[in-house]
Amino acid sequence: MDTAGPATPEVSILVPARNEEVCLRDCLLSLAGQEGVGFEIIVVDDHSVDRTRSIAESVPGVRVVEAGPLPAGWTGKNNALVTGVREARGRWLLFTDADTIHRPGSLARAVAEAQQHGADLLSYSPEQVVKSFWERAVMPVVFAELAAQYPPEKVRDQNSGVVAANGQYILVRREAYYAVGGHESVATEILEDVALARKVREKDCRVYFRYAEDAVQTRMYRSWAELRDGWTKNLALLFPRPLRRAGGLVAWWMVAWVTLPVLIPAAALYIRLRRAGFARSSTLLAGACGVPVFAYLLLRSRAAHAEGDVTWKGRTYSSSGRAQAIAHGGRVAGPPAAA
């Protein structure tokens, strides 16, 4: 592992953290144990009021910096990452969330994979760990719909018009990052990962995206309240025409229930949900009761963005610039519809 010495590390790992005492230690230990490539770890404490900073400082080799004051209109995560990048020295920048766990050797493999595919930005969609009822019921539906909207093979096709990234794991070449203006250029974007990937693509740089349970895992939400607020923040930005999508999916779900003895609609719904890669028990639970909850969250997200205010981690972000487009079913973030 590269420490604070004079050598330039191959990778600077940047972890924004706001009140992450529950999961941060496991994340940092999994990063600190990486081998096969030189790196540094920078945790940006985003004005936490819990033990986040002390936990980060307790892990050997981790450098902790304090996020600067939050500029008007910026999201906290973007502000934290801009602060961290100013301290970073690596040829590659890895942006990863505090709730991730990184498998041994995954960092070196990610750099090699990016180089193999000529990628300027490589993004992994982590394995999703689900434990509670609500996680198991809702997350397979969300990720099945994401798989339909943003097929990884289309994202990897530079000419498809479909671009996406998962902010839980974005590895980007330093030169490409600065060429698009970094996180300052997407500072007001709630869905900053997709916005950054789009800017990279627009510079004719290569974006490579895949599902990566072999590299990283995450448990995004640990309660119904976290899951509700997190997806309220994001869903309307991820899916164009949310009213149509919610209505169509619920209609399909109702037909599957009504015609259950025939099995064909129910089997089709199950196959669609299996694309998310969750365990069979979670997929069945999602098929039984997760679809209407997803529809509710999608419509809740649409309403929140249309009203112009989205709340996350104790902060309220104005989305008034996007509100009119969302209210009329327009596309305000993310790539063109894949289906």
What is the structure's pLDDT at 337?
30
- The Cα–Cα gap between 53 and 96 comes to 17
Cβ neighbourhood burial of 46 (10 Å; 0-12, 13-18, 19+): buried
Condensed to tens digits (0 to 9), the pLDDT of residues 124-180 reads: 999 999 999 999 999 999 999 999 999 999 999 999 999 999 999 999 999 999 999
Given CATH 3.20.20.70, say whether it is the number of domain 11-126+166-218. no
In 3-state terms, the chain is what percent helix, strand and coil (to 5)? Answer: 50, 15, 35
DSSP 62-91: EEEEE-----TT--HHHHHHHHHHHH---S
What is the structure's pLDDT at 275?
92
Tell me where in the chain the CATH 3.90.550.10 domain(s) lie.
11-126+166-218
What is the structure's pLDDT at 321?
39
What is the structure's pLDDT at 2?
43
Condensed to tens digits (0 to 9), the pLDDT of residues 67-83 reads: 999 999 999 999 999 99
Low pLDDT (below 50) residues in the chain = 1-5, 320-339
- The Cα–Cα gap between 82 and 64 comes to 14
What is the structure's pLDDT at 319?
63
